[in-house]
Amino acid sequence: MPRLWKPGDAYIWISGLALMATLVMIGGLLFLIATKGLGAMWPDDIGHYTLKDGSVYLGQLRGRELVRGTSGVKSNSDFRVKLKIGNRDLYGLDFKWIDESEIVSIDFPLDAVILERREWGNYHGYLKEIRKNGQIILGSSPDAFAMLKDLIRDANKTYEKILKIEKGEIGDINYGIEKQRLKLRGLSIRGEADPEKESKYRLKIEQYEASYKVSEANLQRLYTELNRNKVVMVSTDGREKVLPLGKIVLAFRPNDMGVAEKVGFYVKRFWGFISDEPREANTEGGIFPAIFGTVLMVLIMSIVVMPFGVIAALYLREYAKQGLMVRIVRICVNNLAGVPSIVFGVFGVGFFLYGIGGIIDSVFFKEALPNPTFGTGGILWASLTLALLTVPVVIVATEEGLASVPRNIREGSLALGATKFETTWKVVIPSALPAILTGLILAIARATGEVAPLMITGVVKLAPDLPIDGHFPFLHLERKFMHLGFHIYDLGFQSPNSEAAKPMVFMTAFLLILIVVILNITAIVIRNRLRKKYATSAV
């Protein structure tokens, strides 16, 4: 009689169930992050809530929960709702919990307006009047809200011009002045008495200062134009608020929007989240600098870790004499993979920042001292620290790939007259490339989400300048940068308004996972193509 349950089947089933449970938990976590993040950008209807005590709130529903301590039959008296009421400058808070038993009525007025502001979060209220060039347009006018959106659009264009001058023209002027100042200081440090050079440098500084005055005058004119037009809003408790249109990002009436209009609004908001800079202590706006810093750091780390990891693995596997010393080195490499990341961060501070960075400053940037250039945190040192963190992974994966290349392939290449180097470069490495890329994939997956070593080697809450600009050498590896992982930590644990930051936390986490997946898929596709190209009987 055949046995229905073979030896070892129980372990197979247990392993399969454990894998299935793990995948379900991972999928559930990703679904939670995606819904919490992506859902926060949808323009939900805004309700007019009237309570028993006569108070009135205009807010969007953001949650509902059972009041603690209740039991038995559940009724409205056992639940409470969380409303995003906005108007932080009026109420002192963005969110408010209200017991459902206290709610008398809920209306959804079509003329309820939400204003996204550059400061103080959203404003919820009703349009009373628009003050355009001294002319007053009543909010009850049929075209008032359409005019308001047009004026806000024009104000945003003016604001973009202001940013272009501040970060473009004035940034270039300040860069030029600082460059000439450092040249003058360099002459003084070297003890060179060259009146002609000094006169030339001072003349350029004067020219830059004259250009600065012109740009400053243009800025003043644009700021006057930006805040010329105003809107008067009324809150549910009757308080009026006069807001310059230059402080408003956009205005919308969610209760008066159709599904198609809401979808278009959602797409626009999502694109703004990806392409804009953060504002309001990172709780509003976009995260483009953090996306840019994360991707650039991973690219620099990959460029560094690949050759060092592959060369180390090649030496250990192909050239080093196998013995006790090589075994000890392999043990050390495997142990390095388990060292806490913060330890690598401390090493990076001591070795890269204070060691190599200090030497670079003392040799090439004497005129800038005591202000450090490379002797402080920057994207280069953060990338190198993560390269050290992930190089054991690349070494181990590469060694396994090299070991899987059949011996007869090496011997065939040598028998045909190729040198050992030619055999290694043209035969062994191409055959092991899939395994090498597997190591790189694992390194990218680990490095992208690391935060602890970055906090002490160059990442900051808000970076005023990107590491890439129009000034030579164009890629400024000494600059500090923003990172998605640190952005999540900052929003979750250091934000002054944690409730308002929750949607940004989920959205940033979702985007970080998405970037990791995209980077890994790209590497996997390349690996699979190479595997087909260099397929052998053992690879």
pLDDT tens readout for residues 381-404: 999 999 999 999 999 989 988 888
Least confident interval from 42-46, 144-148, 438-442 = 438-442
Query: Which structure tokens are listed for 519?
Result: 């980077």
CA angle 516, 520, 521 (to 5 degrees): 115
Q: Which residues pair with 103 in a beta bridge?
A: 51
162: in domain: no
Q: Measured between alpha carbons, how far is residue 62 from residues 80, 125, 129, 204, 316 in Å? A: 11, 18, 29, 57, 58
Mind spelling out the 3-state secondary structure of 439-452? HHHHHHHHHHHCCC
Proportion of the chain above pLDDT 70, given as a percent = 96
Report pLDDT digits (tens) over 62-95: 888 888 765 655 666 688 999 999 899 888 888 9
C-alpha 128: how far from chain center: 39
Q: What is the pLDDT of residue 538?
A: 41
- Helix, strand, coil shares, percent, the chain, to 5: 60, 15, 25
Report the chain's terminal Cα–Cα distance, integer Å. 41
| Per-residue pLDDT, 18 | 92
- Band (pLDDT 50/70/90 cuts) for residue 444 is confident
| The token pair that represents 401 in the structure block | 């790939």
Confidence check: pLDDT of 537 > 50: no
The mean-pLDDT minimum among 189-198, 320-329, 379-388 falls in 189-198
- Going 400 to 405 to 410 to 411, the CA torsion angle's sign is positive
CB 48 within 8 A of CB 236: yes
pLDDT of residue 69: 61
Q: Is residue 417 part of a domain?
A: yes
43 belongs to a structural domain: no
How would you write 503-523 as a 3-class SS string?
A: HHHHHHHHHHHHHHHHHHHHH
What is the tens place of the pLDDT at every residue in 225-264?
998 999 999 999 889 999 999 999 999 999 999 999 999 9
Between 536 and 36, residue with greater pLDDT: 36
Predicted confidence band of residue 1 (pLDDT cuts 50, 70, 90): very low
- Residue whose structure tokens are 């043209």: 426
Taking the C-alpha atoms of residue 150 and residue 82, their distance in angstroms, rounded to an integer, is 33
pLDDT exceeding 90 applies to what percent of the chain?
46
Q: Which residues contact 16 (CB under 8 A, 6 or more apart)?
A: none
Helix axes 429-449, 498-533, angle to 10 degrees: 180
Report the range of poorest mean pLDDT among 68-77, 168-177, 377-386, 404-413. Answer: 68-77
Task: Determine the pLDDT at residue 77.
Answer: 67
Q: State the pLDDT at residue 8.
A: 64
Listed residue (387, 389, 413, 391) closest to 318, CA to CA: 413
What confidence score (pLDDT) does residue 67 get? 82
Question: Are residues 330 and 398 in contact, defined by beta-carbon separation less than 8 angstroms?
Answer: no
Of 321 and 218, more confident: 218
Asked if 139 contacts 126 with a C-beta cutoff of 8 angstroms, the reply is: yes
507 is a domain residue: no
Q: What is the pTM of this model?
A: 0.88
Residue 493 confidence class, pLDDT cut points 50, 70, 90: confident
φ/ψ of residue 466, rounded to 5: -75, 155
* Residue 67 CB neighbour total at 10 angstroms: 14
Give the up-direction half-sphere exposure of residue 317: CA atoms within 13 A in the CB hemisphere. Answer: 22
Instruction: Give the DSSP per-residue string, 195-228.
Output: HHHHHHHHHHHHHHHHHHHHHHHHHHHHHHHHTT
For 135, list phi and psi in degrees, rounded to 5. -90, 140
Contact between residue 441 and residue 423 where contact means Cβ atoms under 8 Å apart: no
- Give how far Cα 482 sits from Cα of 169, 291, 382, 384, 469, Å: 23, 8, 11, 16, 16
| pLDDT tens sequence across 142-151 | 889 999 999 9
Q: How far apart are CA 477 and CA 480, in angstroms?
A: 8
Has residue 6 got a pLDDT over 70?
Answer: no
Q: Highest-confidence range of 43-47, 417-421, 533-537, by mean pLDDT? A: 43-47
Total domains present in the chain: 1
Of 352, 295, 301, 351, which is closest to residue 467 (Cα–Cα)?
Answer: 295
Q: What is the mean pLDDT of residues 497-522?
A: 85
What's the confidence (pLDDT) of residue 71?
Answer: 60
DSSP letter, residue 237: T
Q: Is residue 402 part of a domain?
A: yes
Mean pLDDT, residues 24-39 = 87
Mean pLDDT of the chain: 88
Residue 36 located in a structural domain:
no
Report if residue 354 sits inside a domain: yes
Q: Residue 414 belongs to a domain with what CATH number?
A: 1.10.3720.10
* pLDDT tens digit sequence for 97-117: 999 989 999 999 999 999 999
pLDDT of residue 432: 86
Residue range(s) defining the domain that contains residue 308 = 288-482
In a domain, residue 55? The reply is no
Residue 296 has pLDDT above 90, yes or no: yes
Number of neighbours of residue 251 by Cβ within 10 angstroms:
21
| Residue 494 predicted with pLDDT over 70 | yes
Residue 2 pLDDT more than 60?
Answer: no
Please state, in angstroms and rounded to a whole number, the distance separating the CA atoms of residues 211 and 205.
Answer: 10
What's the pLDDT score for residue 539?
A: 39
**Residue 288 above 60 pLDDT?**
yes
> What pLDDT sits at residue 496?
75
